[in-house]
Amino acid sequence: MIEDKNTSKTQLSDLGEFGLIDHLTKNFKIQQETTVLGIGDDAAVLDFKQKQCVLTTDLLIEGIHFDLSYVPLKHLGYKAVVVNLSDVYAMNAKATQITVSIAVSNRFPLEALEALYSGIETAAKIYGIDLVGGDTTSSTTGLIISITAVGHANQEELVYRSGAKENDLLVVTGDLGAAYLGLQVLEREKEVFKVNPNSQPDLDQYTYIIERQLKPEARKDIPQLLKALEVKPTSMIDISDGLSSEVIHLCTQSNVGANVYEEKLPLDPTVISTCEEFKLNSTTVALNGGEDYELLFTIRQEDFPKIKANPNLTVIGHITDQDSGIGLVTRANEKIRMTAQGWNPIKE
């Protein structure tokens, strides 16, 4: 099992609240010119001039959203930032600042929070965002993390869930289902470890899918790519809960239907082989897996030539009128109604 190597333990009470905040945040550098003032006063000050401000927040609770028996704290910090930034990019906006609030029990030594913040710091560096504030408090049992991400865009650049129109093409970035399968592998190893703590799992063949689960990336590149290609999506959403659920969100908010083609779903070879091993249907995994943090968007048909050669982008279907419903067209050319909870294949 993956465990934090750090074994030395410093009680949080040794530092006091202000010492702790200072210790955890002292290495963060301000990188954005929109940050007028970061940590240290009663509130941060940001200046977006004529731009529209985008703001999003997430709350993560130990035992509900993460399991520290196989998620290293450093990865948790990184992922907690990334999932928030993904929501900013899904608005076709630039992410610039975050705040991080934590509640911790005395079960956590300083070294655990250092690991968490080193993951947050890595994400801040890679994505070029500033940590500009937060809150620190105690909890009776587990760890709670809440991150708020801030970004901006010109008014005409923002893309909402509600803009999809009939005949638009449905496009997805990257590939689907890997993060879910990574979780299945980690959970299986956790069970093996419970029975035999000396087992040394060989996880090499699962590197890609475990990374997709433990260290997901947000598609910062996509708003930039679309701008360079001169394509403005008509609607966009990030894939956090699984493709089916997100297609349904887009269609519901846009008052349209959609056809998604099973044969077009982008799958990594590791996803296909691991599905075979776990006796899972790869289409079900791609549709309902979740936590891929790819982007799903719609474009007008006439923009297709601009995106078709790009290996990051796959057209998986098109938008129909609302009465046609939201369906998956199978390889056997049957249309099955898509549901958010799960897709039951008629034929295996």
Determine if 25 is a binding residue for ligand ADP (CB under 6 A): yes
**Complex with ligand ADP: residue 99 or 240, whichever CB lies closer:** 99
Closest approach of ligand ADP to the CB of residue 158, in Å: 27
CA–CA distance, 107 with 132 (Å, rounded to integer): 27
Determine if 22 is a binding residue for Mg ion (CB under 5 A): no
Sheet with 313-320, edge to edge strand ranges: 235-238, 295-299, 169-173, 313-320, 257-261, 326-329, 335-337
Is 303 annotated to bind ligand?
no
Stretch that binds ligand ADP, among 97-105, 218-226, 258-266, 316-324 (CB under 6 A): 97-105
Phi, psi of 43 (to 5 degrees): -155, 155
Is 175 annotated to bind ligand?
no
Is 241 annotated to bind ligand?
yes
| 3-class state of residue 13 by DSSP | helix
Q: Work out the angle at residue 332's Cα, subtended by the Cα atoms of residues 284 and 262, and round it to the nearest 5 degrees.
A: 35
Determine if 17 is a binding residue for Mg ion (CB under 5 A): no
Q: For CA atoms 16, 20, 26, 28, give the dihedral sign.
A: negative
Instruction: Identify what 204 binds: ligand ADP, Mg ion, none; CB under 5 to 8 Å per kind.
Output: none
CA–CA distance, 51 with 38 (Å, rounded to integer): 20
Stretch that binds ligand ADP, among 46-54, 126-134, 151-159, 162-170 (CB under 6 A): 126-134
Residues 6+ apart with CB under 8 A from 225: 310, 312
Using DSSP bridges, classify how beta strands 94-104 and 257-261 pair: parallel, antiparallel or unpaired: unpaired
**Complex with Mg ion: residue 3 or 135, whichever CB lies closer:** 135
**Complex with ligand ADP: residue 19 or 63, whichever CB lies closer:** 19
In the bound state, the residue with its beta carbon closest to Mg ion is: 135
Determine if 345 is a binding residue for ligand ADP (CB under 6 A): no
Number of residues that bind ligand ADP (CB under 6 A): 14
Is 58 annotated to bind ligand?
yes
Q: What is the DSSP letter of 168?
A: P
Binding string, 113-152, against Mg ion, x = CB under 5 A? Answer: ----------------------x-----------------
Q: Which residues would be at the binding site for Mg ion (CB under 5 A)?
A: 135
